[in-house]
Amino acid sequence: MTRLFDKRFLIVSGKGGTGKSTLCAALALAAAARGQRVVVAELNVRPRIPAMFGVDSGGYAPIPVHEGIEAIRITPEESMREYGVLKLRFKRIYRFVFENETMRGLTGMLPGLKELLLLGKLHAMEGETVRRGQRPRWDTLIVDGPATGHCVSMFRLPAVILEAVSAGPLADDARRIQQLLQDETRTAFNIAAVPEEMAVQEATELSAKVTNVLKIHKGLALLNMIWPPGLASGDEALLDHLRRSVARHDPVLAGLLSAISESERRHRHQEPMVQRMRERVGLPVIELPFLFARELNLAEITHLSQRLDEKIERCESATRPGAPGCGYEERELQ
Protein backbone atom coordinates (compact mmCIF):
# COMPACT_ATOMS: atom_id res chain seq x y z
CA MET A 1 0.00 0.00 0.00
CA THR A 2 1.38 3.42 -0.94
CA ARG A 3 0.65 6.04 1.70
CA LEU A 4 -1.31 9.07 0.63
CA PHE A 5 1.46 11.61 1.16
CA ASP A 6 3.99 9.45 -0.68
CA LYS A 7 2.02 10.14 -3.83
CA ARG A 8 2.64 13.26 -5.87
CA PHE A 9 -0.67 13.89 -7.56
CA LEU A 10 -3.69 14.11 -5.25
CA ILE A 11 -7.08 14.78 -6.81
CA VAL A 12 -10.06 15.82 -4.69
CA SER A 13 -13.61 15.69 -6.03
CA GLY A 14 -17.14 15.12 -4.72
CA LYS A 15 -20.48 16.87 -4.57
CA GLY A 16 -20.50 20.67 -4.81
CA GLY A 17 -20.22 22.46 -1.47
CA THR A 18 -18.87 19.48 0.50
CA GLY A 19 -15.69 21.39 1.33
CA LYS A 20 -13.42 20.24 -1.51
CA SER A 21 -11.43 23.49 -1.64
CA THR A 22 -11.19 23.69 2.15
CA LEU A 23 -10.00 20.07 2.30
CA CYS A 24 -7.41 20.75 -0.42
CA ALA A 25 -6.04 23.60 1.69
CA ALA A 26 -6.00 21.32 4.75
CA LEU A 27 -4.26 18.53 2.79
CA ALA A 28 -1.70 21.06 1.58
CA LEU A 29 -0.93 22.12 5.16
CA ALA A 30 -0.63 18.50 6.27
CA ALA A 31 1.76 17.70 3.40
CA ALA A 32 3.80 20.87 4.03
CA ALA A 33 4.03 20.00 7.74
CA ARG A 34 5.71 16.77 6.59
CA GLY A 35 8.33 18.88 4.83
CA GLN A 36 6.94 18.58 1.32
CA ARG A 37 6.86 21.38 -1.23
CA VAL A 38 3.24 21.62 -2.25
CA VAL A 39 1.17 23.34 -4.92
CA VAL A 40 -2.62 23.49 -4.81
CA ALA A 41 -4.36 23.97 -8.14
CA GLU A 42 -7.83 25.40 -8.61
CA LEU A 43 -9.31 24.78 -12.03
CA ASN A 44 -11.04 27.53 -13.96
CA VAL A 45 -12.83 29.05 -10.96
CA ARG A 46 -12.46 32.28 -9.03
CA PRO A 47 -9.48 31.53 -6.76
CA ARG A 48 -10.59 30.84 -3.18
CA ILE A 49 -7.66 28.98 -1.70
CA PRO A 50 -5.18 31.89 -1.37
CA ALA A 51 -7.75 33.74 0.78
CA MET A 52 -7.93 30.79 3.18
CA PHE A 53 -4.25 31.44 3.86
CA GLY A 54 -4.81 35.18 4.17
CA VAL A 55 -3.45 36.00 0.70
CA ASP A 56 -5.78 38.07 -1.41
CA SER A 57 -4.49 37.56 -4.95
CA GLY A 58 -3.99 34.44 -7.02
CA GLY A 59 -3.80 33.49 -10.66
CA TYR A 60 -1.99 31.52 -13.32
CA ALA A 61 1.47 32.15 -11.88
CA PRO A 62 1.97 30.04 -8.71
CA ILE A 63 2.11 32.28 -5.64
CA PRO A 64 3.43 31.34 -2.21
CA VAL A 65 0.56 31.31 0.29
CA HIS A 66 2.23 29.63 3.26
CA GLU A 67 5.57 28.08 4.11
CA GLY A 68 6.05 25.24 1.63
CA ILE A 69 2.75 25.90 -0.15
CA GLU A 70 2.02 27.62 -3.45
CA ALA A 71 -1.37 28.15 -5.06
CA ILE A 72 -2.30 28.41 -8.70
CA ARG A 73 -5.53 28.96 -10.58
CA ILE A 74 -5.47 27.40 -14.03
CA THR A 75 -7.69 28.58 -16.85
CA PRO A 76 -7.94 27.00 -20.31
CA GLU A 77 -7.20 30.35 -21.98
CA GLU A 78 -3.96 30.85 -20.08
CA SER A 79 -2.97 27.19 -20.56
CA MET A 80 -3.59 27.57 -24.28
CA ARG A 81 -1.47 30.70 -24.40
CA GLU A 82 1.37 28.97 -22.54
CA TYR A 83 1.07 25.82 -24.65
CA GLY A 84 0.97 27.86 -27.83
CA VAL A 85 4.01 29.93 -26.92
CA LEU A 86 5.84 26.77 -25.87
CA LYS A 87 5.05 24.85 -29.01
CA LEU A 88 5.33 27.73 -31.45
CA ARG A 89 8.33 29.17 -29.63
CA PHE A 90 7.82 32.75 -30.69
CA LYS A 91 5.29 35.04 -29.09
CA ARG A 92 4.70 36.82 -32.39
CA ILE A 93 3.76 33.67 -34.23
CA TYR A 94 1.66 32.62 -31.25
CA ARG A 95 -0.24 35.89 -31.38
CA PHE A 96 -0.78 35.51 -35.10
CA VAL A 97 -2.08 31.96 -34.74
CA PHE A 98 -4.00 32.10 -31.47
CA GLU A 99 -4.95 35.63 -30.70
CA ASN A 100 -7.47 36.17 -33.39
CA GLU A 101 -11.23 36.02 -33.06
CA THR A 102 -11.57 32.59 -34.65
CA MET A 103 -9.11 30.90 -32.33
CA ARG A 104 -10.46 32.70 -29.27
CA GLY A 105 -13.93 31.37 -30.01
CA LEU A 106 -12.51 27.91 -30.57
CA THR A 107 -11.64 27.15 -26.94
CA GLY A 108 -15.32 27.41 -26.09
CA MET A 109 -16.50 25.48 -29.11
CA LEU A 110 -14.50 22.30 -29.25
CA PRO A 111 -15.96 19.87 -26.74
CA GLY A 112 -13.40 18.84 -24.19
CA LEU A 113 -10.72 21.28 -25.36
CA LYS A 114 -10.94 23.35 -22.17
CA GLU A 115 -10.60 20.30 -19.97
CA LEU A 116 -7.76 18.96 -22.08
CA LEU A 117 -5.88 22.22 -21.67
CA LEU A 118 -6.35 22.05 -17.88
CA LEU A 119 -5.16 18.45 -17.77
CA GLY A 120 -2.21 19.31 -20.01
CA LYS A 121 -1.13 22.08 -17.65
CA LEU A 122 -1.48 19.83 -14.58
CA HIS A 123 0.58 17.16 -16.31
CA ALA A 124 3.24 19.72 -17.24
CA MET A 125 3.37 20.91 -13.62
CA GLU A 126 3.87 17.34 -12.41
CA GLY A 127 6.88 17.09 -14.69
CA GLU A 128 8.40 20.47 -13.78
CA THR A 129 11.87 20.36 -12.30
CA VAL A 130 14.34 22.77 -10.73
CA ARG A 131 18.11 22.80 -10.28
CA ARG A 132 18.70 21.72 -13.86
CA GLY A 133 16.32 18.83 -13.63
CA GLN A 134 17.76 17.46 -10.40
CA ARG A 135 14.58 17.58 -8.42
CA PRO A 136 10.88 18.08 -9.03
CA ARG A 137 9.63 21.61 -8.47
CA TRP A 138 6.88 20.27 -6.20
CA ASP A 139 6.72 17.08 -4.15
CA THR A 140 2.95 17.16 -4.00
CA LEU A 141 0.35 18.59 -6.38
CA ILE A 142 -3.13 18.87 -4.95
CA VAL A 143 -5.89 19.27 -7.52
CA ASP A 144 -9.09 20.92 -6.36
CA GLY A 145 -11.17 19.08 -8.93
CA PRO A 146 -14.54 20.01 -10.36
CA ALA A 147 -17.63 18.48 -8.75
CA THR A 148 -18.47 14.82 -9.40
CA GLY A 149 -19.94 14.55 -12.92
CA HIS A 150 -17.77 17.20 -14.49
CA CYS A 151 -14.71 15.69 -12.85
CA VAL A 152 -15.40 12.24 -14.32
CA SER A 153 -15.79 13.69 -17.83
CA MET A 154 -12.60 15.69 -17.43
CA PHE A 155 -10.42 12.81 -16.23
CA ARG A 156 -11.96 10.46 -18.83
CA LEU A 157 -10.84 12.71 -21.65
CA PRO A 158 -7.42 11.11 -22.29
CA ALA A 159 -9.10 7.71 -22.73
CA VAL A 160 -11.71 9.23 -25.06
CA ILE A 161 -8.95 10.77 -27.19
CA LEU A 162 -7.00 7.52 -27.27
CA GLU A 163 -10.11 5.64 -28.41
CA ALA A 164 -10.39 8.06 -31.32
CA VAL A 165 -6.76 8.53 -32.35
CA SER A 166 -3.81 6.28 -31.67
CA ALA A 167 -0.95 8.24 -33.21
CA GLY A 168 0.18 11.84 -33.53
CA PRO A 169 0.90 14.61 -31.03
CA LEU A 170 -2.59 14.65 -29.52
CA ALA A 171 -2.50 10.91 -28.85
CA ASP A 172 1.02 11.25 -27.40
CA ASP A 173 -0.13 13.97 -24.99
CA ALA A 174 -3.23 11.99 -24.00
CA ARG A 175 -1.13 8.87 -23.41
CA ARG A 176 1.30 10.75 -21.17
CA ILE A 177 -1.54 12.26 -19.12
CA GLN A 178 -3.21 8.86 -18.84
CA GLN A 179 0.04 7.30 -17.62
CA LEU A 180 0.23 9.84 -14.80
CA LEU A 181 -3.42 9.43 -13.82
CA GLN A 182 -3.27 5.65 -13.75
CA ASP A 183 0.08 5.38 -11.97
CA GLU A 184 -0.70 4.06 -8.50
CA THR A 185 2.62 5.28 -7.13
CA ARG A 186 1.96 8.88 -8.17
CA THR A 187 -1.78 9.50 -8.26
CA ALA A 188 -4.67 9.12 -5.81
CA PHE A 189 -8.26 10.19 -6.36
CA ASN A 190 -9.86 11.33 -3.09
CA ILE A 191 -13.57 11.76 -2.58
CA ALA A 192 -15.11 14.50 -0.44
CA ALA A 193 -18.59 14.24 1.04
CA VAL A 194 -20.72 15.40 3.92
CA PRO A 195 -23.05 13.14 5.91
CA GLU A 196 -26.14 13.91 3.85
CA GLU A 197 -28.05 11.52 1.64
CA MET A 198 -27.24 13.11 -1.74
CA ALA A 199 -23.57 13.69 -0.99
CA VAL A 200 -23.06 10.12 0.26
CA GLN A 201 -24.90 8.77 -2.78
CA GLU A 202 -22.72 10.86 -5.13
CA ALA A 203 -19.58 9.77 -3.31
CA THR A 204 -20.55 6.11 -3.68
CA GLU A 205 -21.27 6.47 -7.40
CA LEU A 206 -18.11 8.48 -7.95
CA SER A 207 -16.05 5.85 -6.15
CA ALA A 208 -17.33 3.14 -8.51
CA LYS A 209 -16.67 5.32 -11.58
CA VAL A 210 -13.15 6.19 -10.49
CA THR A 211 -12.35 2.49 -10.38
CA ASN A 212 -14.40 1.16 -13.28
CA VAL A 213 -14.41 4.02 -15.77
CA LEU A 214 -11.38 6.17 -15.00
CA LYS A 215 -9.26 3.29 -13.69
CA ILE A 216 -7.53 5.69 -11.33
CA HIS A 217 -6.39 4.47 -7.91
CA LYS A 218 -8.34 5.83 -5.01
CA GLY A 219 -6.94 7.40 -1.87
CA LEU A 220 -9.34 8.33 0.89
CA ALA A 221 -12.91 9.41 1.44
CA LEU A 222 -13.01 12.68 3.34
CA LEU A 223 -16.28 12.92 5.22
CA ASN A 224 -16.49 16.54 6.21
CA MET A 225 -18.66 18.69 8.51
CA ILE A 226 -19.64 16.04 11.05
CA TRP A 227 -21.49 17.56 13.97
CA PRO A 228 -20.11 16.66 17.41
CA PRO A 229 -21.89 14.04 19.46
CA GLY A 230 -24.34 15.90 21.63
CA LEU A 231 -25.56 14.42 24.85
CA ALA A 232 -24.55 11.47 26.93
CA SER A 233 -27.35 9.17 28.08
CA GLY A 234 -29.26 10.76 30.94
CA ASP A 235 -28.33 14.30 29.84
CA GLU A 236 -31.59 14.67 28.02
CA ALA A 237 -33.63 14.42 31.21
CA LEU A 238 -31.38 17.05 32.80
CA LEU A 239 -31.84 19.38 29.81
CA ASP A 240 -35.56 18.92 29.98
CA HIS A 241 -35.55 19.68 33.68
CA LEU A 242 -33.50 22.85 33.12
CA ARG A 243 -35.74 23.93 30.27
CA ARG A 244 -38.82 23.67 32.43
CA SER A 245 -37.27 25.26 35.52
CA VAL A 246 -34.51 27.93 35.55
CA ALA A 247 -34.39 28.46 31.77
CA ARG A 248 -37.97 29.72 31.80
CA HIS A 249 -36.68 32.88 33.46
CA ASP A 250 -33.28 33.05 31.77
CA PRO A 251 -33.27 33.73 27.99
CA VAL A 252 -29.50 33.19 27.67
CA LEU A 253 -29.71 29.76 29.22
CA ALA A 254 -32.81 28.99 27.16
CA GLY A 255 -30.90 29.91 23.98
CA LEU A 256 -27.99 27.73 25.00
CA LEU A 257 -30.26 24.78 25.69
CA SER A 258 -31.95 25.07 22.33
CA ALA A 259 -28.52 25.24 20.62
CA ILE A 260 -27.56 22.00 22.40
CA SER A 261 -30.80 20.36 21.27
CA GLU A 262 -30.26 21.51 17.68
CA SER A 263 -26.72 20.17 17.69
CA GLU A 264 -28.02 16.87 19.06
CA ARG A 265 -30.71 16.74 16.38
CA ARG A 266 -28.18 17.28 13.59
CA HIS A 267 -25.79 14.73 15.00
CA ARG A 268 -28.56 12.10 15.19
CA HIS A 269 -29.60 12.90 11.64
CA GLN A 270 -26.01 12.52 10.39
CA GLU A 271 -25.20 9.28 12.19
CA PRO A 272 -26.84 6.86 9.71
CA MET A 273 -25.23 8.75 6.82
CA VAL A 274 -21.77 8.36 8.37
CA GLN A 275 -22.50 4.65 8.71
CA ARG A 276 -23.75 4.40 5.13
CA MET A 277 -20.63 6.14 3.86
CA ARG A 278 -18.40 3.67 5.73
CA GLU A 279 -20.29 0.70 4.36
CA ARG A 280 -20.71 1.79 0.75
CA VAL A 281 -17.98 4.12 -0.47
CA GLY A 282 -15.43 1.32 -0.79
CA LEU A 283 -12.44 3.20 0.61
CA PRO A 284 -11.20 4.34 4.02
CA VAL A 285 -13.30 7.13 5.49
CA ILE A 286 -11.59 10.02 7.26
CA GLU A 287 -14.16 11.77 9.42
CA LEU A 288 -13.74 15.51 9.95
CA PRO A 289 -15.62 17.82 12.30
CA PHE A 290 -17.95 20.67 11.50
CA LEU A 291 -16.10 23.80 12.60
CA PHE A 292 -18.13 26.54 14.21
CA ALA A 293 -16.72 29.69 12.64
CA ARG A 294 -18.21 32.40 10.51
CA GLU A 295 -15.40 31.94 7.98
CA LEU A 296 -12.71 29.29 7.81
CA ASN A 297 -9.34 31.02 7.95
CA LEU A 298 -5.82 29.79 8.57
CA ALA A 299 -6.50 28.85 12.21
CA GLU A 300 -9.50 26.68 11.28
CA ILE A 301 -7.78 25.15 8.23
CA THR A 302 -4.79 24.33 10.45
CA HIS A 303 -7.11 22.65 12.94
CA LEU A 304 -8.73 20.66 10.14
CA SER A 305 -5.35 19.69 8.71
CA GLN A 306 -4.18 18.41 12.11
CA ARG A 307 -7.32 16.27 12.51
CA LEU A 308 -6.81 15.07 8.93
CA ASP A 309 -3.18 14.22 9.53
CA GLU A 310 -3.86 12.31 12.77
CA LYS A 311 -6.66 10.33 11.20
CA ILE A 312 -4.74 9.52 8.03
CA GLU A 313 -1.80 8.40 10.15
CA ARG A 314 -4.04 6.23 12.34
CA CYS A 315 -5.83 4.83 9.34
CA GLU A 316 -2.68 4.02 7.39
CA SER A 317 -0.92 2.42 10.31
CA ALA A 318 -3.94 0.28 11.16
CA THR A 319 -2.92 -3.27 10.37
CA ARG A 320 -6.42 -4.49 9.69
CA PRO A 321 -9.32 -2.86 7.91
CA GLY A 322 -11.91 -1.60 10.35
CA ALA A 323 -9.35 -0.71 13.01
CA PRO A 324 -10.38 2.25 15.18
CA GLY A 325 -10.10 5.59 13.48
CA CYS A 326 -10.19 4.22 9.98
CA GLY A 327 -13.93 3.76 9.65
CA TYR A 328 -13.22 1.23 6.97
CA GLU A 329 -15.01 -2.04 7.20
CA GLU A 330 -15.23 -3.65 3.82
CA ARG A 331 -12.12 -3.87 1.72
CA GLU A 332 -8.39 -3.34 1.88
CA LEU A 333 -6.97 0.09 1.17
CA GLN A 334 -6.78 0.55 -2.59
Interface ranges with Mg ion (CB under 5 A) = 20-21
- Residues in contact with ligand ATP by the rule CB under 6 A: 16-22, 147, 224-225, 288, 290-291, 296, 304
Closer CB to Mg ion, 20 or 123, in the complex: 20
Beta carbon nearer to Mg ion, 20 or 267: 20
Q: How far apart, in Å, do the first and last CA atoms of the chain sit? A: 7
Q: How far is the CB of 164 from ligand ATP (least distance, A)?
A: 30
Backbone angles phi and psi of 51, in degrees to 5? -60, -30
Name which of Mg ion, ligand ATP, none residue 22 binds, using a CB cut-off of 5 to 8 Å depending on partner kind.
ligand ATP
The distance from CA 83 to its chain's CA centroid, rounded to whole angstroms, is 26
String of DSSP letters for 104-146: HHHHHHSTTHHHHHHHHHHHHHHH-EETTTTEES-SEEEEEPP
Q: At CB < 8 A and 24+ separation, what contacts does 170-175 make?
A: 173/120, 173/123, 174/116
The conformation of residue 210, written as its DSSP 8-state character, comes to: I
Nearer to ligand ATP, 147 or 171 (CB): 147
In angstroms, give the least distance from the CB of 30 to ligand ATP: 14
What does residue 208 show for φ and ψ, rounded to 5 degrees?
-65, -40
Least distance between Mg ion and beta carbon 21 (Å): 3
257 binds, among Mg ion, ligand ATP, none (CB under 5 to 8 A by kind): none
Our measurement of the distance from residue 49's CA atom to the centroid of its chain's CA atoms, rounded to an integer in Å, reads 12
Residue 191 binding: pick among Mg ion, ligand ATP, none (C-beta 5-8 Å cut-off by kind): none
Residue 16 interacting partner from ligand ATP, Mg ion, none (CB closer than 5 to 8 Å by kind):
ligand ATP
3-state secondary structure of 88: helix
Minimum CB distance to ligand ATP smaller for 39 or for 180: 39
Q: Which does 224 bind (CB under 5 to 8 A by kind): Mg ion, ligand ATP, none?
A: ligand ATP
Q: Which is nearer to Mg ion, 18 or 207 (CB)?
A: 18
Instruction: Name the minimum Å distance from CB 224 to Mg ion.
Output: 12
Residue 291's binding partner, choosing from ligand ATP, Mg ion, none, with beta-carbon cut-off 5 to 8 A by kind? ligand ATP
Task: Please identify, using beta-carbon distances, which residue of 187 and 224 lies nearer to ligand ATP.
Answer: 224
Torsion on CA atoms 273, 276, 280, 286, rounded to nearest 10: 60
How far apart are the C-alpha atoms of 150 and 181, rounded to whole Å? 16
